[in-house]
Structure 1
């Protein structure tokens, strides 16, 4: 069955992790473009505030309180979508949590919790969505991964591991659905560093407040990539040119990239004297205050030229252009090193 995706204004879109950061930006953008939304999150109060705010603007929105690590809770999301809108057309697996600290510092129970949400939550959503979309005649599944699925970084080992796992899960799901001609598009969106409350929400074992390393991008950049994937079948989209470049460089020169990470990776992820909003701190097991953007003093780019190029050009052409740029950058670095 050929993949045929509806225009966004005719779609019903499920978004997990919908009350904060990338998920919140996606729901707001989808609603503004006429899509019906099913917003999913643990934070019931934030969900109700989101529903009231968007409904007042005339948006079509339903909500479902769910922890995506619970398969039964994820299955209820489909029931909400059917009851409110007759079904769903696109499912966005966005919910995620994290920790900061070395592999030894982070307790094994916290490693497992990060996997429960970031990997098993995506698995639950993917299986439930695929079952429903098969019966519906097709649609889109969009998984929000990370450039850290390509390139691990110090202090975020469990998170990096889950994003590597999400890469494998997404590729396997795509092949299985393609083989059966299910008519379901499967896309992996890989954000770079995005100005969300993630550093404040993450459980921190470092001796300094965490931050995301620059360059940062606004959550709307990720929403742009996600909603494009709901309408246009794509394998992978990188949200943010800085993250894309670091991913390519790490593949072309892995040991050099390791050395850079070892030298500056920890410092680049710390923000002394700026811990952000205490009400947001540590949502590993329970929801905390949610918001679109982080409260730390950072600069975030409002758009990504690299994303626009990916949307406009063929994937092979984009990889060729960026791969050539990475080779030139490595060549310049080696020349300077010899000198």
Structure 2
């Protein structure tokens, strides 16, 4: 059965991890586009403030407090979406947490907690969303992964492992739904380094404050990719050209990338003297102060040419490349005459 997705203004979208960073950007941009949004997060205070602010501006928004590591809580989210809006058309698995430190430094319980949220949270959301969308006649599931699902980095082993797992989960889900003929689009969005509170929220075992390595992009770039995927079937979208280049390098020269990571990977993720807002520190088990952007002194790009190129349908892109090649060949032939 062909996949037909609604325009954003006609959709109800569920977004997890909605009160901070990429999730907050997705919610705000979706509401501006005219979509109705069910925002999901652990932070009840931040959810209520978001709802009041966006509803006062005319936005269609409801909120639901839930920890996505709890399957029963995720099932309640779907029920709440049905109660509030009559169902949903897209489900965005965005909630994520992390740690900084070596595999040996991070306690096993913390490894498990990262998996509970990042992998099992995405699994719970994917299963619940697929069941609902089968009955509804189709829609979109968008999982927010990471370029660290392509290439691991020092000091973030548990997080990298979960993002590798989310990629496998997404690919398997897509194949299963295609095999049964379900008209459900499944997309994996892979952000590069994004200027969110993630380094402040992550539990840190290093001896220096953590940071994300440059180049950084604004959360709006991820929101752009996610909401495009809600309305246009795509397999994968990289949010940020820097991340795309890193992933390509890792695939082309994995051992060289190992050596580069070993040489600079730790230093590139530390920001001595700039720990950020202490009120945001360590949300591994309990929510902390949430925000759209990080509070550290960094530069972030507000757009990504690489993302815009990925939005172009492959047939159109190949045709344009072919035409460009033909014109180039014609020019060379004429000069040679």
- Do both share a fold (TM > 0.5)? yes
Gaps of 5+ in 2: 322-337
**C-alpha distance in 2, partners of 1:301/1:315?**
29
TM-superposed deviation, 1:119: 0.2
Q: Distance in 1 between matches of 2:117 and 2:315?
A: 30
The equivalent residue for 1:23 is 23
What is the aligned partner in structure 2 of residue 169 from structure 1?
169
Using the TM superposition, give the Cα deviation of residue 93 of structure 1 relative to its aligned residue in structure 2, in angstroms. 0.1
Q: Cα offset for 1:312?
A: 1.6
The 5 Å alignment of 1:103-252 reads: 103-252=103-252
> How far apart are 1:316 and its partner, in Å?
11
For the pair shown, the structure with the greater C-alpha radius of gyration is 2
Secondary structure, aligned partner of 1:234? coil
Counterpart CA distance in 2 for 1:141 and 1:294 is 27
> What TM-score do the two structures reach when normalised by structure 1?
0.93
- 1:82 lines up with 2:82 in the alignment: yes
Q: Distance in 2 between matches of 1:317 and 1:286?
A: 45
Question: How far 1:79 sits from its partner (Å)?
Answer: 1.2
Residue correspondence of structure 1 range 29-68 to structure 2 within 5 A: 29-68=29-68
In structure 2, the partner of 1:280 is 280
CA distance in structure 1 between the partners assigned to 2:306 and 2:120 by the alignment: 30
Runs of 4+ aligned residues of structure 1 deviating over 6 Å after TM superposition are none
Residue by residue over 1:157-216, the C-alpha shift from the partner in whole angstroms, topping out at 9 and shown as x without a partner, is 000000000000000000000001110000000000000000000000000000000000
Query: Which residue of the partner structure matches residue 7 of structure 2?
Result: 7
Does the C-alpha gap of structure 1 residues 315 and 112 become closer, same or farther in structure 2, counting only changes over 3 Å? farther
Count of matched residue positions in the alignment of Structure 1 and Structure 2: 319
CA distance in 1, matches of 2:186, 2:136: 16
In 2, Cα distance between the equivalents of 1:200 and 1:211? 8
Which residue of the partner structure matches residue 264 of structure 2? 264
Distance 2:3 2:317 in 1: 22
* Structure 1 gap ranges (5+): 322-339
Give the alignment's Cα RMSD to 1 decimal. Answer: 1.1
TM-score under structure 2 normalisation? Answer: 0.93
Shift of 1:315: 8.5
Partner of 2:101: 101
3-state SS of the aligned residue for 2:48?
helix
CA gap 1:315/1:151 in 2 versus in 1, 3 angstroms: farther
Give the whole-Å Cα distance in 2 for the aligned partners of 1:306 and 1:182: 30
Secondary structure, counterpart of 1:119 in structure 2: helix
